A and B are shown apart, each in its own frame.
Chain A
Amino acid sequence: MKNIHKFFIIAIVMFSMLTVSLNAMEKMNVVHDFELKDYNENLHTLSDFKDSKATVIMFIATRCPVSNAYNERMANLHDAYKDKGIQFVGINSNKQEDIKEIKKHAMENKLNFTILKDHNNIVADKYNASVTPEVYVINSDHELLYHGRIDDDRREKEVKSKDLRNVLDKIVANEDVEFVKTKAFGCTIKRVSK
């Protein structure tokens, strides 16, 4: 009987830990470190970028029409902010998009920032990322400053709110940034079955 009680207590504790882990990032405003390889097999961790003012982590895809609609905007953002202390990192968590395809896509679309392959969507799970494109902005203390869309419209000419750019401008200007979350339609990240 005691063993059954123990089992239930352990099960409840484990379930609570899992729930906290999934929601912790936004509620506690901290982010998980990660270790992933880029398409040239070089290893990167989030801590590698700790000397920058902020790191922009973008969950992206090669085949998602929404993510692809943002290729030029992502390249332009990187060009505009790379010399202002902002690091850009792309993460591809889609199970069907391999390193070769990611590299080709990056070359073709002039995505000159680091792009990492998230095999088995481990980082997407940790970050609770669900769509492409989906962006997280993190400061040098690994605090989450922004989570959501790049801007509010797939068509650049229809954009009314340049959400990511607004946050980055504040960071570059050393202004206080309060955590903001936004939403937009995107392609579901194609995860492996676990």
Chain B
Amino acid sequence: MRRVTLILLTLMLSSSCGDLFESGSGTEIMSGSNIHVNQIDAMDETKLINLIEKRAGNVLFINVWATWCVPCREEFPDLVRLADYYDGKNVDIIGLNIEYPDELESKVKPFLMKMNVNFKNYIHSFETQENLINLFNEGWNGALPATFIYDKNGKQHYFRIGKHSFDEFKSLIDSVNTAIGS
């Protein structure tokens, strides 16, 4: 009887921890060694302008997101796939989270861990939301997720609102690469 109880308890514990330690590189997540989870830097106006202008020959793909945004969460696995696909191919995949600094540990990092994130993410520290929105694109109303693609000269080629797929993004990135003949 004790043995049965022990087995049941073990099963219950393992199932309740399932959400925290999802499949994939669970060992890496549990050990806390994912640099893209641990190093979330603040992004202000100056940093964003530098990031866009100093391209070092790379295309820039920036996705603005939040954990409270359902389509952002749904889109994220495709961003992970993009980062994997473009690894070493002169394309920087960047995430910019727009939540509060005090939500970094409680919401942002756990989500990034769950996604097994493989690209650099920042958290916004702009003075106002409107500054951030207008710096990306005057035509953007603030709907999330929003994605911006710049060429290696820092020129914005695409601005997309809402959830998009790996194939849609890949097609846009490749067209920027083709347009600038890289």
Contacts and interface: CB of A to CB of B under 8 A. Distances in A.
A47 to B, nearest CB: 27
Interface in B4-29: none
A183 interface: yes
Contacts of A63: 70
B85 interface: no
B77 interface: no
B100 A155 contact: yes
Contacts of A112: none
B142 A184 contact: yes
Given A66-B68, A130-B141, A134-B141, A185 B100 contact: no
Interface in B57-98: 66, 68-71, 98
A188 B130 contact: no
B133 A187 contact: no
A130 B161 contact: yes
A131 B128 contact: no
B143 interface: yes
B169 to A, nearest CB: 17
B161 A185 contact: no
Contacts of B162: 188
Nearest to A132: B143
B144 interface: yes
A66, A152, A188 interface centre (most CB from chain B within 10 Å)? A188
Contacts of B145: 188
A85 interface: no
Interface string B161-178: 110000000000000000
B129 A184 contact: yes
- Interface secondary structure of A, over-half rule: loop
Given A130-B161, A131-B141, A131-B143, A185 B129 contact: yes
A66 B130 CA distance: 16
B129 A183 contact: yes
B66 A185 contact: yes
Contact of A183 (B66, B71, B141, B144): B141
Contacts of B71: 188
Given A66-B68, A130-B161, A183-B134, A188 B143 contact: yes
Interface of B: 66, 68-71, 98, 100, 128-130, 133-134, 140-145, 161-162
Q: When A and B form their complex, which 6 residue pairs have the shortest distance between CB atoms, in order from nearest?
A: A65-B68, A188-B143, A131-B143, A130-B143, A130-B141, A185-B142
22 contacts: A130-B142, A131-B142, A149-B142, A152-B129, A153-B129, A182-B130, A183-B129, A183-B130, A183-B134, A183-B141, A183-B142, A184-B130, A184-B133, A184-B142, A185-B133, A185-B142, A185-B144, A186-B141, A186-B144, A187-B69, A188-B69, A188-B162
Given A130-B143, A131-B142, A188-B143, 13 more contacts: A63-B70, A131-B143, A149-B142, A155-B100, A183-B141, A184-B129, A184-B130, A185-B98, A186-B141, A187-B70, A188-B71, A188-B161, A188-B162
